[in-house]
Amino acid sequence: MAELQNDRFLRALLKEPVDRTPVWMMRQAGRYLPEYRATRAKAGSFMDLCKNKELASEVTLQPLARYPLDAAILFSDILTIPDAMGLELRFAEGEGPIFDKPIKTQADVDRLFVPDMGSDLGYVMDAVSTIRKDLNGSVPLIGFSGSPWTLATYMVEGGSSKQFGKVKGMMFEQPKMMHQILDVLADSVTAYLNAQIEAGAQAVQIFDTWGGLLTPRDYKAFSLDYMAKIVDGLIKEKDGRKVPCILYTKGGGQWLHQMADAGADCLGIDWTMDMADARAQVGDRVALQGNMDPTVLYASPERVRQEVKSVLESYGKGEGHIFNLGHGIHPGIDPETVDAFINAVVDYSPEYHK
């Protein structure tokens, strides 16, 4: 493997000194880029794109050709694990993901298994190793997975949801059954992230998109405890270098002090919390990633630059900040506005590291 030329992102995750704040963007390879839309059309479907290692690598590298980003993130989907468990994932136009065999009964739960990372999810590992090779040491590669709770919401609901009535109903009425699902998922996610690390991922992120739906008690029992179990089981070092782990719970700002105890190196922060408050809560225990509101990118480049300054100021001087959006970039954003965002971080952040 080529030697890493830019390790700013990895060093910031470990709260080591950097010359400027590293920046990457959730969903940075995606629909806002015309070149992505062209590659997706060539692939035929979203899952065909995920399963073609050359095309998955192509779209992963597209934003790096445009912007001075400090990390690449594997192009894949969070629902690959439940798909590999036999729930039959498909993407319907305008509807998002749909599982043709959602979990409804105890018998459905009993059929769940930890997928084989080589045969069932080998296409993801092929993509990781191809991307790592194609990056040629330019920036680190981030691997990722959905959290057990977030994966369970899709598996029980059968797709996206607004009320989450089925999954929360099961959690309240049949907690034992829900814990059984989450146990299998925690084992699967641990194996999945470790396989990504073995294939070449240099950091990993756990996306807990729907943890913020829960009460504080239920968040700990049904989401955080399982993420802590995963973090505990991860490969911690590869090729003589630490492999950092990021935990991100959308809407999880009120639980940062508990999240900081889960063993991860960094916490992702959404836009509903001030970075100064987040930093005050966690102290020096973990690095922080975030947290510009993604919808700021609908504003003018001048306004975007102003917002970047504001987030940097809120975090303040010192190490341990990775600049990112508070959630993924929206599909309709102008790539020129993204250029203003990324370059503003590059221009304004060095003074915070003197």
The per-residue pLDDT for range 286-312, each reduced to its tens digit, is: 999 999 999 999 999 999 999 999 999
Give per-residue pLDDT as tens, 134-159.
999 999 999 999 999 999 999 999 99
327 in a known ligand binding site = yes
**Predicted confidence (pLDDT) at residue 94 exceeds the cutoff of 80:** no
- Residue 93: its pLDDT value, please? 73
pTM: 0.97
Domain region containing 240 = 8-353
Query: Per the annotation, does 260 bind a ligand?
Result: no
Q: What are phi and psi of 178, to 5 degrees?
A: -65, -45
Strand partners of residue 290:
323
Angle at 333 between CA 331 and CA 334, to 5 degrees: 135
Find out whether 164 and 213 touch, Cβ atoms under 8 Å: yes
Mean pLDDT of 17-41: 97
Question: What DSSP character marks residue 72?
Answer: E
Nearest to 218 by CA among 175, 278, 181: 175
The verdict on whether residue 28 carries a ligand-binding annotation is yes
Helix (H, G, I), strand (E, B) or coil at 347: helix
How many structural domains does the chain have?
1
Quote the CA–CA distance of 2 and 244 in Å, as a whole number. 19
Q: What pLDDT, in 10s, does the model give residues 66-83?
A: 999 999 999 999 999 999
Inside any domain, residue 73: yes
Is 261 contained in some domain? Answer: yes
Domain membership flag for residue 2:
no
Q: Exposed/middle/buried for 33, CB within 10 Å: 0-12, 13-18, 19+?
A: buried
> Any idea which residues carry the catalytic annotation?
27, 31, 40, 77, 154
CA distance 26 to 326: 8
How many Cα atoms sit within 13 Å of 248 on the Cβ side? Answer: 25
**Distance between terminal CA atoms of the chain?**
32
Instruction: Flag whether 1 is in a domain.
Output: no
- Which CATH number covers residue 346? 3.20.20.210
Residue 244 lies in a domain: yes
* DSSP structure class, residue 256: H
Does a structural domain hold residue 184? yes
Residue with the bigger pLDDT between 95 and 238: it is 238
What does pLDDT average to over the chain?
97
| DSSP E strand boundaries for the chain | 72-73, 89-92, 96-99, 141-146, 203-208, 237-238, 241-242, 245-249, 266-268, 287-292, 321-325
Tell me what pLDDT residue 2 has.
83
Tell me what pLDDT residue 132 has. 98
**Residue 1 predicted with pLDDT over 90:** no
- Total number of residues shown for the chain: 354
Q: What is the pLDDT of residue 186?
A: 98
Which residues have C-beta within 8 Å of that of residue 147, sequence separation ≥ 6? 189, 206, 207, 208, 209, 211, 223, 226, 227, 249
Asked if residue 3 is part of any domain, the answer here is: no
Partnered with residue 292 across adjacent β-strands are 325
Binding residue per annotation — 154? yes
The answer as to whether 336 is a domain residue is yes
194 preceded by a cis bond (ω within 30 of 0): no
- 275-282 and 301-315 helices cross at what angle (nearest 10)? 20
User: What pLDDT band is residue 121 in, cutting at 50, 70 and 90?
Assistant: very high
Q: Is 30 annotated as a binding residue?
A: yes
Q: Are 32 and 332 in contact (CB under 8 A)?
A: yes
* DSSP secondary structure string for all residues of 139-205: S-EEEEEE-HHHHHHHHHHSB--SS-HHHHHHHHH-HHHHHHHHHHHHHHHHHHHHHHHHHT-SEEE
Provide the pLDDT for residue 316. 98
Q: How far apart are CA 152 and CA 157, in angstroms?
A: 8
